[in-house]
Amino acid sequence: MRLLDLIFPPRCGGCGRHGQDFCDSCATALQPVPVTSLHGIPLVAARRLTGPLQAAIHTYKYRPRPQLAGSLTQPLRRAAIAAGLTLPALTFVPLHPRRQRERGFNQAERLAGQLAASLQVPVVGGLSRLRPTPAQVGLGQAERQINVAGAFRWTAPEPPPQGLGLVDDVCTTGATLAAVARVVAEAGGSIGAFLVLAVAQTLPGPLVTSPGTGRLSANSCLGDCE
**Does 222 reside within a domain?**
no
| Average pLDDT score, the chain | 82
CB distance 178 to 203 below 8 Å: no
Residue 136, domain extent: 31-209
**Residue 139 forms part of a structural domain:** yes
Asked whether the predicted pLDDT for residue 211 surpasses 50, the reply is no
CA pseudo-torsion sign 22, 119, 50, 174: positive
Task: Read off the pLDDT of residues 50-104 as tens digits, 9 standing for 90 and up.
Answer: 999 999 999 999 999 999 999 999 999 999 999 999 999 999 999 998 989 999 9
pLDDT at 223: 32
- 220 pLDDT exceeds 50? no
Cβ(61)–Cβ(54) below 8 Å: no
User: CA 164, CA 191: separation in Å to the nearest integer?
Assistant: 5
Residue 224 lies in a domain: no
Higher pLDDT pick, 207 / 39: 39
Q: Is residue 42 part of a domain?
A: yes
In a domain, 21, yes or no: no
Number of independent structural domains in the chain: 1
Percent over 90 (pLDDT), the chain? 60
Cβ atoms of residues 85 and 53 within 8 Å: no
Beta-bridged to residue 84, according to DSSP, are none
Q: In this predicted model, what pLDDT tens digit does every residue of 96-138 receive, in sequence order?
A: 989 899 999 999 999 999 999 999 999 999 999 987 665 555 5
| Rounded (10°) angle between helices 51-62 and 69-82 | 130
Helix, strand, coil percent values for the chain (each to nearest 5): 35, 20, 45
Q: Tell me how crowded residue 124 is: count the other CB atoms within 10 A of its CB.
A: 20
pLDDT above 70 coverage of the chain, percent: 77
**Considering the domain boundaries, does residue 49 fall inside one?**
yes
pTM over 0.75: yes
Q: What is the pLDDT of residue 146?
A: 55
Residues 6+ apart with CB under 8 A from 135: none
Question: What residue type is 153 in one-letter code?
Answer: R
CATH code assigned at 77? 3.40.50
CB 56 within 8 Å of CB 47: no
pLDDT for residue 1 = 40
| pLDDT score, position 171 | 92
How large is the average pLDDT for residues 20-38?
88
Per-residue pLDDT at 100:
92
DSSP 108-124: HHHHHHHHHHHHT--B-
- HSE-CB for 224 with a 13 A CA cutoff: 16
Domain annotation covers residue 51: yes
* The three-state (H, E, C) secondary structure of 136-156, written as one string: CCCCCHHHHHHHHCCCEEECC
CB of 42 closer than 8 Å to CB of 193:
yes
Give the list of residues 6+ apart from residue 112 with CB closer than 8 angstroms, or none: 90, 91, 92, 123, 167
